[in-house]
């Protein structure tokens, strides 16, 4: 299996952000984001059985990933901290925030 490049990861992240926004209080923001994703062709392309890439709409991507719930990005964020703490402990145990600095950062700088 080939490693995902930055464009693939970014496209999937945009997808997860849009899905998160669609089911929260920021539905208008989600709509604008989806429009921009389609306008700038940032939606991950699909590959056919011959390996050829094809554009798809946001709704096509949602349908192809029906197993991904709207809160998937939130779940990822909730899991990252505890997993990282096993490898590199934070400076203040038990404090789980996304916007930390230094040893409280998820990037652990």
Residue 4: is its pLDDT beyond 80? no
Q: What is the pLDDT of residues 36-46, one digit of tens each?
A: 999 999 998 98
The phi-psi region of residue 95 (left if phi > 0; otherwise alpha if psi is between -120 and 50; otherwise beta) is beta
Amino acid 60: pLDDT: 96
Cβ burial of 51 (10 Å; 0-12, 13-18, 19+) is: exposed
Asked if residue 23 has pLDDT above 60, the reply is yes
CA 48 from chain center: how many Å? Answer: 23
Q: Are 104 and 91 a contacting pair, CB within 8 Å? A: yes
């Amino acid at each position: 299996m080939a490693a995902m490049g930055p464009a693939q990861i970014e496209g999937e992240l945009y997808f997860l952000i849009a899905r998160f926004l669609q089911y929260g209080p920021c539905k208008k923001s989600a709509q604008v984001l989806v429009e921009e994703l389609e306008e700038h062709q940032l939606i991950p392309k699909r590959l056919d059985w011959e390996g050829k890439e094809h554009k798809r709409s946001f709704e096509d991507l949602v349908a192809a990933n029906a197993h991904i719930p709207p809160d998937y990005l939130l779940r990822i964020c909730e899991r990252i901290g505890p997993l990282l703490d096993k490898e590199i402990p934070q400076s203040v145990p038990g404090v789980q925030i996304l916007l930390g600095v230094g040893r409280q950062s998820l990037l652990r700088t």
